[in-house]
Structure 1
Protein backbone atom coordinates (compact mmCIF):
# COMPACT_ATOMS: atom_id res chain seq x y z
CA UNK A 1 0.00 0.00 0.00
CA UNK A 2 2.71 2.47 0.88
CA UNK A 3 4.03 2.55 -2.69
CA UNK A 4 0.68 3.80 -3.93
CA UNK A 5 0.50 6.60 -1.39
CA UNK A 6 4.02 7.72 -2.25
CA UNK A 7 3.41 7.58 -6.00
CA UNK A 8 0.48 9.99 -5.96
CA UNK A 9 2.38 12.59 -3.99
CA UNK A 10 5.55 12.12 -6.00
CA UNK A 11 3.58 12.83 -9.16
CA UNK A 12 1.67 15.85 -7.91
CA UNK A 13 4.38 17.61 -5.97
CA UNK A 14 5.31 20.91 -7.54
CA UNK A 15 8.77 22.29 -8.17
CA UNK A 16 8.74 24.72 -5.26
CA UNK A 17 10.52 28.02 -4.78
CA UNK A 18 11.75 28.32 -1.22
CA UNK A 19 10.27 31.28 0.60
CA UNK A 20 8.15 32.32 3.52
CA UNK A 21 4.72 33.88 3.20
CA UNK A 22 2.29 34.98 5.88
CA UNK A 23 -1.19 33.56 5.34
CA UNK A 24 -3.12 36.45 3.83
CA UNK A 25 -0.11 38.72 4.28
CA UNK A 26 3.14 39.92 2.70
CA UNK A 27 6.25 37.96 1.82
CA UNK A 28 8.62 37.57 4.75
CA UNK A 29 12.25 36.58 5.02
CA UNK A 30 12.43 33.13 6.58
CA UNK A 31 15.34 34.23 8.75
CA UNK A 32 13.11 36.76 10.51
CA UNK A 33 11.00 34.15 12.27
CA UNK A 34 12.79 31.57 14.34
CA UNK A 35 11.14 28.25 15.12
CA UNK A 36 11.24 26.36 18.37
CA UNK A 37 13.66 23.46 18.55
CA UNK A 38 10.80 21.13 19.47
CA UNK A 39 9.52 19.39 22.54
CA UNK A 40 6.69 19.64 25.03
CA UNK A 41 6.11 21.55 28.23
CA UNK A 42 6.53 25.18 29.19
CA UNK A 43 9.30 25.85 26.65
CA UNK A 44 8.02 23.50 23.97
CA UNK A 45 6.67 24.25 20.51
CA UNK A 46 3.01 24.66 21.48
CA UNK A 47 3.71 26.84 24.51
CA UNK A 48 6.08 29.04 22.52
CA UNK A 49 3.61 29.43 19.65
CA UNK A 50 0.85 30.38 22.08
CA UNK A 51 3.08 32.92 23.76
CA UNK A 52 4.10 34.48 20.43
CA UNK A 53 0.69 34.09 18.80
CA UNK A 54 2.29 32.75 15.61
CA UNK A 55 3.58 29.55 14.12
CA UNK A 56 5.51 28.72 10.98
CA UNK A 57 4.19 25.92 8.75
CA UNK A 58 5.54 24.10 5.72
CA UNK A 59 3.68 23.81 2.41
CA UNK A 60 4.63 22.41 -1.00
CA UNK A 61 2.75 24.72 -3.36
CA UNK A 62 0.28 21.96 -4.26
CA UNK A 63 -3.38 22.74 -4.93
CA UNK A 64 -5.78 22.13 -3.35
CA UNK A 65 -3.81 21.36 -0.15
CA UNK A 66 -1.36 24.21 0.50
CA UNK A 67 -0.53 26.75 -2.20
CA UNK A 68 -0.38 30.44 -3.10
CA UNK A 69 -3.38 31.65 -5.09
CA UNK A 70 -3.38 34.25 -7.86
CA UNK A 71 -3.87 37.05 -5.33
CA UNK A 72 -0.72 36.07 -3.43
CA UNK A 73 -2.60 34.52 -0.51
CA UNK A 74 -1.40 31.22 0.94
CA UNK A 75 -4.43 28.96 1.20
CA UNK A 76 -5.68 25.42 0.59
CA UNK A 77 -7.60 22.83 2.54
CA UNK A 78 -4.72 21.89 4.81
CA UNK A 79 -3.73 25.52 5.41
CA UNK A 80 -7.28 26.65 6.21
CA UNK A 81 -8.07 23.68 8.46
CA UNK A 82 -4.73 24.18 10.18
CA UNK A 83 -5.49 27.85 10.68
CA UNK A 84 -8.87 27.03 12.25
CA UNK A 85 -7.24 24.60 14.67
CA UNK A 86 -4.50 27.08 15.53
CA UNK A 87 -7.05 29.80 16.29
CA UNK A 88 -8.80 27.41 18.68
CA UNK A 89 -5.43 26.90 20.37
CA UNK A 90 -4.88 30.66 20.72
CA UNK A 91 -2.48 31.01 17.78
CA UNK A 92 -3.84 33.52 15.28
CA UNK A 93 -1.00 33.88 12.78
CA UNK A 94 0.37 31.23 10.41
CA UNK A 95 3.48 31.89 8.35
CA UNK A 96 4.06 29.47 5.48
CA UNK A 97 7.42 28.38 4.10
CA UNK A 98 7.21 26.71 0.69
CA UNK A 99 9.64 23.91 -0.12
CA UNK A 100 9.57 20.90 -2.43
CA UNK A 101 7.32 18.11 -1.19
CA UNK A 102 10.17 15.75 -0.36
CA UNK A 103 11.81 18.51 1.73
CA UNK A 104 8.84 18.94 4.08
CA UNK A 105 9.76 16.37 6.72
CA UNK A 106 13.52 17.16 6.59
CA UNK A 107 12.69 20.86 6.90
CA UNK A 108 10.39 20.16 9.84
CA UNK A 109 13.05 18.15 11.65
CA UNK A 110 15.65 20.83 10.89
CA UNK A 111 13.39 23.39 12.65
CA UNK A 112 12.74 25.32 9.43
CA UNK A 113 9.07 25.28 10.45
CA UNK A 114 7.04 23.76 13.27
CA UNK A 115 4.38 21.73 11.44
CA UNK A 116 3.44 20.68 7.92
CA UNK A 117 0.12 21.75 6.39
CA UNK A 118 0.43 20.07 2.99
CA UNK A 119 -2.14 17.26 3.01
CA UNK A 120 0.60 14.64 3.41
CA UNK A 121 -0.52 11.01 3.22
CA UNK A 122 0.27 8.86 6.25
CA UNK A 123 2.49 5.85 5.59
CA UNK A 124 4.96 3.78 7.62
CA UNK A 125 8.16 5.24 6.20
CA UNK A 126 7.02 8.78 6.95
CA UNK A 127 5.82 7.78 10.41
CA UNK A 128 9.37 6.64 11.16
CA UNK A 129 10.58 10.22 10.74
CA UNK A 130 7.76 12.37 12.08
CA UNK A 131 4.51 12.39 14.06
CA UNK A 132 1.15 12.63 12.30
CA UNK A 133 -2.13 14.03 13.53
CA UNK A 134 -5.26 11.98 13.32
CA UNK A 135 -6.39 11.66 9.67
CA UNK A 136 -7.68 14.97 8.34
CA UNK A 137 -9.24 13.48 5.22
CA UNK A 138 -9.31 10.38 3.05
CA UNK A 139 -8.74 10.47 -0.70
CA UNK A 140 -10.93 7.90 -2.45
CA UNK A 141 -10.65 7.25 -6.17
CA UNK A 142 -13.44 8.48 -8.44
CA UNK A 143 -14.21 8.76 -12.14
CA UNK A 144 -14.74 11.84 -14.26
CA UNK A 145 -17.54 11.04 -16.70
CA UNK A 146 -19.86 12.91 -19.08
CA UNK A 147 -22.83 14.53 -17.36
CA UNK A 148 -25.38 11.86 -16.47
CA UNK A 149 -22.73 9.11 -16.50
CA UNK A 150 -24.21 7.48 -19.65
CA UNK A 151 -21.90 4.44 -19.47
CA UNK A 152 -22.73 3.78 -15.81
CA UNK A 153 -19.10 3.83 -14.64
CA UNK A 154 -18.61 3.14 -10.93
CA UNK A 155 -15.64 0.74 -10.68
CA UNK A 156 -12.61 -0.39 -12.64
CA UNK A 157 -14.50 -3.62 -13.32
CA UNK A 158 -17.07 -1.53 -15.20
CA UNK A 159 -14.28 -0.10 -17.34
CA UNK A 160 -12.97 -3.59 -18.09
CA UNK A 161 -16.30 -5.35 -18.64
CA UNK A 162 -17.84 -2.59 -20.77
CA UNK A 163 -14.69 -2.18 -22.88
CA UNK A 164 -14.48 1.53 -22.02
CA UNK A 165 -11.66 3.95 -22.79
CA UNK A 166 -10.05 5.13 -19.55
CA UNK A 167 -7.93 8.27 -19.17
CA UNK A 168 -5.29 8.39 -16.41
CA UNK A 169 -2.48 10.73 -15.42
CA UNK A 170 1.07 9.77 -16.25
CA UNK A 171 2.81 8.56 -13.11
CA UNK A 172 -0.33 8.54 -10.94
CA UNK A 173 -1.57 5.44 -9.15
CA UNK A 174 -4.85 5.02 -11.03
CA UNK A 175 -3.16 3.42 -14.02
CA UNK A 176 -1.87 0.70 -11.70
CA UNK A 177 -5.28 0.29 -10.09
CA UNK A 178 -6.83 -0.21 -13.52
CA UNK A 179 -4.19 -2.71 -14.60
CA UNK A 180 -4.55 -4.68 -11.36
CA UNK A 181 -8.31 -4.83 -12.02
CA UNK A 182 -7.62 -6.40 -15.40
CA UNK A 183 -8.22 -3.39 -17.64
CA UNK A 184 -6.10 -4.03 -20.75
CA UNK A 185 -3.51 -1.44 -21.73
CA UNK A 186 -5.32 -1.01 -25.04
CA UNK A 187 -8.19 0.63 -23.11
CA UNK A 188 -5.97 2.99 -21.08
CA UNK A 189 -4.97 6.44 -22.34
CA UNK A 190 -2.25 8.35 -20.47
CA UNK A 191 -2.32 12.17 -20.19
CA UNK A 192 0.02 14.69 -18.60
CA UNK A 193 -2.32 17.09 -16.77
CA UNK A 194 -5.68 17.20 -15.03
CA UNK A 195 -6.98 19.61 -17.67
CA UNK A 196 -6.14 17.19 -20.50
CA UNK A 197 -7.99 14.45 -18.60
CA UNK A 198 -11.03 16.68 -18.46
CA UNK A 199 -10.80 17.55 -22.15
CA UNK A 200 -10.48 13.88 -23.11
CA UNK A 201 -13.75 13.08 -21.35
CA UNK A 202 -15.55 16.26 -22.40
CA UNK A 203 -14.72 15.73 -26.09
CA UNK A 204 -15.49 12.01 -26.12
CA UNK A 205 -11.93 10.79 -26.60
CA UNK A 206 -12.28 8.86 -23.33
CA UNK A 207 -15.34 7.38 -21.64
CA UNK A 208 -14.01 8.13 -18.14
CA UNK A 209 -10.97 9.42 -16.30
CA UNK A 210 -9.73 8.09 -12.95
CA UNK A 211 -8.15 10.17 -10.18
CA UNK A 212 -8.88 11.06 -6.54
CA UNK A 213 -12.29 12.63 -6.07
CA UNK A 214 -10.56 15.62 -4.45
CA UNK A 215 -8.53 16.40 -7.56
CA UNK A 216 -11.43 15.73 -9.92
CA UNK A 217 -13.80 17.95 -7.94
CA UNK A 218 -11.17 20.68 -7.99
CA UNK A 219 -10.62 20.54 -11.77
CA UNK A 220 -14.38 20.49 -12.46
CA UNK A 221 -14.86 23.53 -10.24
CA UNK A 222 -12.15 25.37 -12.15
CA UNK A 223 -13.72 24.49 -15.52
CA UNK A 224 -17.43 25.29 -15.25
CA UNK A 225 -19.66 24.31 -18.16
CA UNK A 226 -17.49 21.35 -19.21
CA UNK A 227 -20.46 18.91 -19.31
CA UNK A 228 -18.75 16.43 -16.98
CA UNK A 229 -19.35 15.18 -13.44
CA UNK A 230 -17.54 13.22 -10.74
CA UNK A 231 -18.79 9.82 -9.58
CA UNK A 232 -18.92 8.68 -5.97
CA UNK A 233 -15.57 7.93 -4.35
CA UNK A 234 -14.35 4.43 -3.52
CA UNK A 235 -11.20 2.69 -2.33
CA UNK A 236 -9.96 0.12 -4.86
CA UNK A 237 -8.87 -3.28 -3.59
CA UNK A 238 -5.41 -4.20 -4.88
CA UNK A 239 -3.97 -7.67 -4.28
CA UNK A 240 -6.75 -8.28 -1.77
CA UNK A 241 -5.95 -5.19 0.32
CA UNK A 242 -7.83 -1.87 0.52
CA UNK A 243 -5.87 1.13 -0.76
CA UNK A 244 -6.99 3.61 1.88
CA UNK A 245 -5.03 6.87 1.62
CA UNK A 246 -5.43 9.51 4.29
CA UNK A 247 -3.83 12.93 4.65
CA UNK A 248 -2.84 14.54 7.93
CA UNK A 249 -0.77 17.26 9.57
CA UNK A 250 2.83 16.52 10.46
CA UNK A 251 4.84 17.38 13.57
CA UNK A 252 8.20 16.62 15.12
CA UNK A 253 8.12 13.46 17.22
CA UNK A 254 9.08 15.36 20.37
CA UNK A 255 6.04 17.66 20.12
CA UNK A 256 3.63 15.28 21.83
CA UNK A 257 1.53 17.87 23.65
CA UNK A 258 1.20 19.85 20.41
CA UNK A 259 -0.07 16.76 18.57
CA UNK A 260 -2.53 15.94 21.36
CA UNK A 261 -3.92 19.47 21.50
CA UNK A 262 -4.16 19.66 17.71
CA UNK A 263 -6.03 16.33 17.54
CA UNK A 264 -8.56 17.51 20.12
CA UNK A 265 -9.48 20.57 18.06
CA UNK A 266 -9.35 18.71 14.73
CA UNK A 267 -11.88 16.17 16.07
CA UNK A 268 -14.17 19.04 17.04
CA UNK A 269 -14.05 20.40 13.48
CA UNK A 270 -14.95 16.98 12.08
CA UNK A 271 -17.74 16.42 14.60
CA UNK A 272 -19.44 19.82 14.42
CA UNK A 273 -19.44 20.15 10.64
CA UNK A 274 -17.01 23.06 10.44
CA UNK A 275 -14.42 20.92 8.65
CA UNK A 276 -16.76 20.38 5.70
CA UNK A 277 -17.50 24.10 5.49
CA UNK A 278 -13.78 24.86 5.38
CA UNK A 279 -12.85 22.06 2.97
CA UNK A 280 -15.68 22.24 0.41
CA UNK A 281 -14.28 25.23 -1.51
CA UNK A 282 -11.21 23.09 -2.28
CA UNK A 283 -13.13 20.16 -3.79
CA UNK A 284 -13.62 18.06 -0.65
CA UNK A 285 -16.97 16.47 0.21
CA UNK A 286 -18.42 14.40 3.03
CA UNK A 287 -16.93 11.37 1.23
CA UNK A 288 -13.52 12.63 2.31
CA UNK A 289 -14.31 12.60 6.04
CA UNK A 290 -12.33 9.74 7.62
CA UNK A 291 -14.35 6.89 9.08
CA UNK A 292 -13.68 5.58 12.59
CA UNK A 293 -11.71 2.63 11.20
CA UNK A 294 -9.17 4.94 9.50
CA UNK A 295 -6.56 5.70 12.15
CA UNK A 296 -3.04 7.05 12.19
CA UNK A 297 -1.86 4.00 14.13
CA UNK A 298 -3.19 1.56 11.52
CA UNK A 299 -1.79 3.55 8.59
CA UNK A 300 1.59 3.91 10.26
CA UNK A 301 1.68 0.15 10.82
CA UNK A 302 0.38 -0.86 7.36
CA UNK A 303 2.58 -3.23 5.40
Structure 2
Protein backbone atom coordinates (compact mmCIF):
# COMPACT_ATOMS: atom_id res chain seq x y z
CA UNK A 1 0.00 0.00 0.00
CA UNK A 2 1.06 3.40 -0.88
CA UNK A 3 2.66 5.25 2.04
CA UNK A 4 2.89 2.74 4.85
CA UNK A 5 3.99 -0.84 4.66
CA UNK A 6 1.41 -1.82 7.20
CA UNK A 7 -1.77 0.08 6.35
CA UNK A 8 -4.57 -0.82 4.03
CA UNK A 9 -7.76 1.12 4.74
CA UNK A 10 -7.93 3.10 7.98
CA UNK A 11 -11.56 4.18 8.11
CA UNK A 12 -13.67 3.92 11.28
CA UNK A 13 -10.48 3.91 13.33
CA UNK A 14 -10.86 3.70 17.08
CA UNK A 15 -8.21 3.42 19.71
CA UNK A 16 -10.62 2.01 22.25
CA UNK A 17 -10.34 -1.73 22.70
CA UNK A 18 -12.87 -4.48 22.78
CA UNK A 19 -12.35 -7.70 24.73
CA UNK A 20 -8.61 -8.08 25.28
CA UNK A 21 -8.14 -4.41 24.35
CA UNK A 22 -5.72 -2.66 22.21
CA UNK A 23 -2.35 -1.12 21.70
CA UNK A 24 -0.75 -1.34 24.64
CA UNK A 25 0.15 -0.60 28.08
CA UNK A 26 2.86 -2.56 29.80
CA UNK A 27 0.42 -4.81 31.64
CA UNK A 28 -1.06 -6.20 28.43
CA UNK A 29 2.30 -6.49 26.71
CA UNK A 30 4.00 -8.36 29.54
CA UNK A 31 1.04 -10.67 29.89
CA UNK A 32 1.24 -11.63 26.23
CA UNK A 33 4.94 -12.25 25.76
CA UNK A 34 4.90 -15.91 26.66
CA UNK A 35 2.59 -18.69 25.64
CA UNK A 36 3.59 -20.56 28.75
CA UNK A 37 5.35 -23.86 29.27
CA UNK A 38 7.49 -23.48 26.18
CA UNK A 39 4.52 -24.30 23.95
CA UNK A 40 4.18 -22.84 20.50
CA UNK A 41 1.18 -20.58 19.88
CA UNK A 42 -0.93 -23.34 18.33
CA UNK A 43 -0.37 -25.78 21.20
CA UNK A 44 -0.96 -23.08 23.80
CA UNK A 45 -4.22 -22.04 22.12
CA UNK A 46 -5.44 -25.61 21.94
CA UNK A 47 -4.50 -26.22 25.57
CA UNK A 48 -6.25 -23.09 26.82
CA UNK A 49 -9.07 -23.07 24.26
CA UNK A 50 -8.34 -19.38 23.72
CA UNK A 51 -6.85 -17.36 20.84
CA UNK A 52 -6.39 -13.58 20.55
CA UNK A 53 -7.13 -11.68 17.34
CA UNK A 54 -6.50 -8.08 16.32
CA UNK A 55 -8.92 -6.00 14.25
CA UNK A 56 -8.93 -2.41 13.01
CA UNK A 57 -12.62 -1.52 13.49
CA UNK A 58 -13.15 -1.27 9.76
CA UNK A 59 -16.54 -2.09 8.31
CA UNK A 60 -17.37 -4.61 6.97
CA UNK A 61 -14.06 -6.43 7.54
CA UNK A 62 -13.84 -6.36 11.34
CA UNK A 63 -15.57 -3.92 13.67
CA UNK A 64 -17.46 -3.41 16.91
CA UNK A 65 -21.19 -3.06 16.38
CA UNK A 66 -23.49 -0.67 18.25
CA UNK A 67 -23.64 -3.11 21.16
CA UNK A 68 -19.86 -3.38 21.36
CA UNK A 69 -19.78 -6.89 19.93
CA UNK A 70 -16.93 -7.61 17.52
CA UNK A 71 -18.16 -8.86 14.15
CA UNK A 72 -17.39 -8.51 10.47
CA UNK A 73 -16.23 -10.90 7.76
CA UNK A 74 -12.77 -11.58 9.15
CA UNK A 75 -13.66 -12.15 12.84
CA UNK A 76 -16.61 -14.37 11.90
CA UNK A 77 -14.48 -16.45 9.51
CA UNK A 78 -11.75 -16.64 12.14
CA UNK A 79 -14.20 -17.90 14.76
CA UNK A 80 -15.39 -20.64 12.41
CA UNK A 81 -11.82 -21.63 11.60
CA UNK A 82 -10.78 -21.76 15.24
CA UNK A 83 -13.87 -23.77 16.20
CA UNK A 84 -12.75 -26.33 13.63
CA UNK A 85 -9.36 -26.37 15.38
CA UNK A 86 -10.96 -26.95 18.79
CA UNK A 87 -10.39 -23.34 19.97
CA UNK A 88 -13.70 -21.81 21.01
CA UNK A 89 -12.77 -18.67 22.94
CA UNK A 90 -11.70 -15.79 20.65
CA UNK A 91 -10.57 -12.60 22.38
CA UNK A 92 -10.47 -9.34 20.44
CA UNK A 93 -8.14 -6.34 20.38
CA UNK A 94 -8.86 -3.18 18.39
CA UNK A 95 -5.95 -1.13 17.02
CA UNK A 96 -5.48 1.28 14.16
CA UNK A 97 -4.73 -0.43 10.87
CA UNK A 98 -1.14 0.75 10.70
CA UNK A 99 -0.43 -0.87 14.08
CA UNK A 100 -1.85 -4.30 13.29
CA UNK A 101 1.41 -5.98 12.31
CA UNK A 102 3.63 -4.16 14.85
CA UNK A 103 1.24 -5.11 17.67
CA UNK A 104 1.07 -8.69 16.39
CA UNK A 105 4.86 -8.95 16.44
CA UNK A 106 4.87 -7.40 19.92
CA UNK A 107 2.72 -10.41 20.96
CA UNK A 108 -0.30 -8.33 21.92
CA UNK A 109 -2.43 -10.90 20.09
CA UNK A 110 -1.87 -13.96 17.93
CA UNK A 111 -3.61 -13.33 14.60
CA UNK A 112 -4.60 -10.25 12.58
CA UNK A 113 -8.22 -10.70 11.44
CA UNK A 114 -8.85 -7.51 9.51
CA UNK A 115 -9.10 -8.32 5.81
CA UNK A 116 -5.52 -7.14 5.29
CA UNK A 117 -4.29 -7.20 1.69
CA UNK A 118 -1.36 -9.50 1.04
CA UNK A 119 1.57 -7.44 -0.28
CA UNK A 120 5.30 -8.11 -0.65
CA UNK A 121 6.15 -5.46 1.95
CA UNK A 122 3.92 -7.04 4.57
CA UNK A 123 5.13 -10.51 3.70
CA UNK A 124 8.62 -9.40 4.68
CA UNK A 125 7.45 -8.76 8.25
CA UNK A 126 4.78 -11.37 8.91
CA UNK A 127 3.24 -14.66 7.76
CA UNK A 128 0.02 -14.61 5.74
CA UNK A 129 -2.63 -17.28 5.48
CA UNK A 130 -3.82 -18.49 2.13
CA UNK A 131 -5.96 -15.76 0.53
CA UNK A 132 -9.29 -15.40 2.31
CA UNK A 133 -11.03 -13.30 -0.34
CA UNK A 134 -10.41 -11.18 -3.42
CA UNK A 135 -11.92 -7.79 -4.13
CA UNK A 136 -12.15 -5.28 -6.94
CA UNK A 137 -11.92 -1.49 -6.74
CA UNK A 138 -14.71 1.05 -7.17
CA UNK A 139 -15.37 4.76 -6.81
CA UNK A 140 -17.94 6.59 -4.69
CA UNK A 141 -19.37 9.41 -6.84
CA UNK A 142 -22.31 11.83 -6.77
CA UNK A 143 -25.63 10.23 -7.64
CA UNK A 144 -25.99 10.02 -11.40
CA UNK A 145 -22.22 10.32 -11.86
CA UNK A 146 -22.54 13.47 -14.03
CA UNK A 147 -18.84 13.47 -14.98
CA UNK A 148 -19.02 9.76 -15.93
CA UNK A 149 -15.89 8.93 -13.93
CA UNK A 150 -15.67 5.15 -13.61
CA UNK A 151 -12.02 4.33 -12.89
CA UNK A 152 -8.68 5.92 -12.03
CA UNK A 153 -7.89 6.70 -15.67
CA UNK A 154 -11.12 8.72 -15.87
CA UNK A 155 -10.15 10.57 -12.69
CA UNK A 156 -6.88 11.57 -14.35
CA UNK A 157 -8.30 12.43 -17.75
CA UNK A 158 -11.20 14.50 -16.40
CA UNK A 159 -8.97 16.24 -13.84
CA UNK A 160 -11.35 15.72 -10.92
CA UNK A 161 -10.43 15.55 -7.26
CA UNK A 162 -10.20 12.19 -5.52
CA UNK A 163 -10.27 11.11 -1.86
CA UNK A 164 -8.30 8.11 -0.61
CA UNK A 165 -7.65 6.70 2.83
CA UNK A 166 -4.43 7.39 4.66
CA UNK A 167 -1.74 4.90 3.73
CA UNK A 168 -4.07 2.90 1.49
CA UNK A 169 -3.25 1.19 -1.80
CA UNK A 170 -5.70 3.36 -3.73
CA UNK A 171 -3.38 6.37 -3.76
CA UNK A 172 -0.74 4.32 -5.55
CA UNK A 173 -3.31 3.12 -8.07
CA UNK A 174 -4.41 6.71 -8.69
CA UNK A 175 -0.95 8.19 -9.16
CA UNK A 176 0.04 5.27 -11.39
CA UNK A 177 -2.96 6.14 -13.58
CA UNK A 178 -1.73 9.74 -13.87
CA UNK A 179 -3.80 11.48 -11.19
CA UNK A 180 -1.75 14.47 -9.95
CA UNK A 181 -0.84 14.43 -6.26
CA UNK A 182 -2.48 17.83 -5.92
CA UNK A 183 -5.85 16.33 -6.90
CA UNK A 184 -5.72 13.66 -4.20
CA UNK A 185 -7.02 14.25 -0.67
CA UNK A 186 -5.85 11.77 1.96
CA UNK A 187 -8.47 11.24 4.66
CA UNK A 188 -8.57 9.13 7.81
CA UNK A 189 -12.14 7.81 7.96
CA UNK A 190 -14.87 6.39 5.82
CA UNK A 191 -17.25 9.08 7.06
CA UNK A 192 -14.84 11.81 5.96
CA UNK A 193 -14.72 10.31 2.48
CA UNK A 194 -18.49 10.19 2.27
CA UNK A 195 -18.88 13.78 3.47
CA UNK A 196 -16.22 15.00 1.04
CA UNK A 197 -18.12 13.57 -1.93
CA UNK A 198 -21.50 14.81 -0.68
CA UNK A 199 -20.14 18.33 -0.02
CA UNK A 200 -18.32 18.50 -3.36
CA UNK A 201 -14.83 18.85 -1.88
CA UNK A 202 -13.86 15.90 -4.05
CA UNK A 203 -15.69 14.33 -6.95
CA UNK A 204 -14.88 10.71 -6.10
CA UNK A 205 -13.57 8.50 -3.31
CA UNK A 206 -11.74 5.24 -3.92
CA UNK A 207 -11.92 1.96 -1.95
CA UNK A 208 -12.75 -1.66 -2.56
CA UNK A 209 -16.17 -2.26 -4.06
CA UNK A 210 -17.15 -4.24 -0.95
CA UNK A 211 -16.34 -1.30 1.32
CA UNK A 212 -18.14 1.30 -0.76
CA UNK A 213 -21.26 -0.78 -1.33
CA UNK A 214 -21.46 -1.37 2.42
CA UNK A 215 -21.01 2.36 3.04
CA UNK A 216 -23.89 3.27 0.72
CA UNK A 217 -26.15 0.68 2.33
CA UNK A 218 -25.41 2.20 5.73
CA UNK A 219 -26.24 5.70 4.42
CA UNK A 220 -29.32 5.22 2.23
CA UNK A 221 -30.20 8.92 2.21
CA UNK A 222 -26.85 10.09 0.85
CA UNK A 223 -26.89 11.41 -2.72
CA UNK A 224 -24.06 9.15 -3.84
CA UNK A 225 -23.59 5.93 -5.75
CA UNK A 226 -20.89 3.35 -6.38
CA UNK A 227 -19.42 2.85 -9.82
CA UNK A 228 -19.16 -0.53 -11.46
CA UNK A 229 -16.34 -2.58 -9.98
CA UNK A 230 -13.03 -2.65 -11.83
CA UNK A 231 -9.57 -4.17 -11.53
CA UNK A 232 -6.97 -1.50 -10.81
CA UNK A 233 -3.58 -1.37 -12.47
CA UNK A 234 -0.20 -0.27 -11.21
CA UNK A 235 2.71 0.46 -13.53
CA UNK A 236 0.52 -0.77 -16.37
CA UNK A 237 -0.10 -4.19 -14.81
CA UNK A 238 -3.42 -5.48 -13.42
CA UNK A 239 -3.38 -5.75 -9.64
CA UNK A 240 -4.89 -8.73 -7.82
CA UNK A 241 -6.21 -7.54 -4.46
CA UNK A 242 -6.58 -10.37 -1.97
CA UNK A 243 -6.88 -10.26 1.80
CA UNK A 244 -5.74 -12.77 4.37
CA UNK A 245 -5.07 -13.43 8.03
CA UNK A 246 -1.68 -12.56 9.47
CA UNK A 247 0.59 -14.47 11.86
CA UNK A 248 3.94 -13.88 13.54
CA UNK A 249 7.11 -15.27 11.93
CA UNK A 250 7.75 -18.57 13.68
CA UNK A 251 4.05 -19.39 14.03
CA UNK A 252 3.99 -21.61 10.94
CA UNK A 253 2.20 -24.44 12.82
CA UNK A 254 -0.67 -22.08 13.68
CA UNK A 255 -0.75 -20.65 10.15
CA UNK A 256 -0.74 -24.10 8.55
CA UNK A 257 -3.53 -25.44 10.78
CA UNK A 258 -5.53 -22.28 10.06
CA UNK A 259 -5.03 -22.71 6.31
CA UNK A 260 -6.38 -26.24 6.45
CA UNK A 261 -9.62 -25.14 8.09
CA UNK A 262 -9.94 -22.03 5.91
CA UNK A 263 -9.66 -24.21 2.82
CA UNK A 264 -12.43 -26.43 4.14
CA UNK A 265 -14.69 -23.40 4.61
CA UNK A 266 -14.03 -22.25 1.04
CA UNK A 267 -14.62 -25.70 -0.44
CA UNK A 268 -17.77 -26.49 1.53
CA UNK A 269 -19.52 -23.23 0.78
CA UNK A 270 -19.64 -22.34 4.48
CA UNK A 271 -17.37 -19.36 3.83
CA UNK A 272 -20.01 -17.76 1.58
CA UNK A 273 -22.69 -18.34 4.22
CA UNK A 274 -20.52 -16.64 6.87
CA UNK A 275 -19.33 -13.75 4.68
CA UNK A 276 -22.53 -12.96 2.77
CA UNK A 277 -24.09 -10.75 5.49
CA UNK A 278 -21.06 -8.46 5.11
CA UNK A 279 -21.40 -7.95 1.37
CA UNK A 280 -19.24 -10.82 0.11
CA UNK A 281 -20.32 -13.49 -2.36
CA UNK A 282 -19.01 -16.58 -4.13
CA UNK A 283 -17.33 -14.18 -6.58
CA UNK A 284 -14.96 -13.17 -3.77
CA UNK A 285 -13.66 -16.70 -3.17
CA UNK A 286 -10.06 -16.70 -4.44
CA UNK A 287 -9.34 -18.68 -7.60
CA UNK A 288 -6.75 -21.48 -7.33
CA UNK A 289 -4.06 -19.40 -9.06
CA UNK A 290 -4.36 -16.61 -6.46
CA UNK A 291 -1.81 -17.79 -3.92
CA UNK A 292 0.02 -16.17 -1.05
CA UNK A 293 3.34 -17.07 -2.67
CA UNK A 294 2.32 -15.23 -5.83
CA UNK A 295 1.03 -12.18 -3.97
CA UNK A 296 4.11 -11.98 -1.76
CA UNK A 297 6.44 -11.98 -4.76
CA UNK A 298 4.70 -9.56 -7.12
**Which residue number corresponds to residue 260 of structure 2?**
264
**Residue of structure 1 aligned with 2:242, choices 246, 255, 258:** 246
Aligned residues between the structures: 291
Structure 1 residues 167 and 286 mapped into 2: Cα distance closer, same or farther (>3 Å)?
A: farther
RMSD: 3.6
**Residue of structure 2 aligned with 1:21, choices 2, 5, 19:** 19
8 A contact 2:29–2:108 mirrored in 1: no
8 A contact 2:163–2:202 mirrored in 1: no
Deviations 1:106-164 (A, max 9, x none): 33333332222122222223222321101112342112245566665443334455x37
8 A contact 1:116–1:251 mirrored in 2: yes
**Long gaps (5+) in structure 1:** 24-28
8 A contact 1:35–1:56 mirrored in 2: no
Q: Distance in 1 between matches of 2:285 and 2:55?
A: 22
Please say if 1:167 is aligned against 2:162.
yes
Q: Which moved more, 1:30-39 or 1:248-257?
A: 30-39
**TM-score, length of structure 2 as denominator length:** 0.79
**Equivalence map 1:107-146=2 (5 Å):** 107-145=103-141
Deviations 1:234-291 (A, max 9, x none): 2211212333332211112322222122111112222333223322333434443323
**TM-score, length of structure 1 as denominator length:** 0.78
Pairwise CA distance, 1:219: 1.1
Structure 1 residues 228 and 281 mapped into 2: Cα distance closer, same or farther (>3 Å)?
A: farther
**Which residue number corresponds to residue 52 of structure 2?**
56
Q: Distance in 2 between matches of 1:235 and 1:195?
A: 24
Please say if 1:223 is aligned against 2:219.
yes
Structure 1 residues 38 and 45 mapped into 2: Cα distance closer, same or farther (>3 Å)?
A: farther
Deviations 1:34-83 (A, max 9, x none): 575499xx943223322322212222333333332221112222111111
